[in-house]
Amino acid sequence: MPEQAFVEAVYQTVEQIPRGRVTTYGQIAYMIGRPKNARLVGTVLKKSGHGLNNMPCHRVVNSSGRLVPGWNEQRMLLEQEGVPFKENGHVVLRNCFWQGDM
């Protein structure tokens, strides 16, 4: 497991993602100053369990907008927030991508 400071930075960033927006593992890694650690961001979120302390983990997708395999509730949660999807089931990132307060 990564160091606690990394884990906390991931959690703090995910908590900031606004309703109706999504970001990627890579964007979170970039925002916390660890641009080469997108997979590690995914590991942190996977080990946290979905919905930890009401953290909006469902708002994090991969770089092509693909949802978490096997997490069927993720699409429903995003649809409830108005996030658009392509026919292939991926999020339309250009319509709802969040990059933080950059």
By annotation, the residues acting in catalysis are 57
Calpha distance 62→91 (Å, rounded): 9
Q: Which residues pair with 60 in a beta bridge?
A: 23
Give the distance, in angstroms, between the CA of residue 8 and the centroid of all CA atoms in the same chain. 15
Q: Which residues pair with 61 in a beta bridge?
A: 24
CB distance 41 to 27 below 8 Å: no
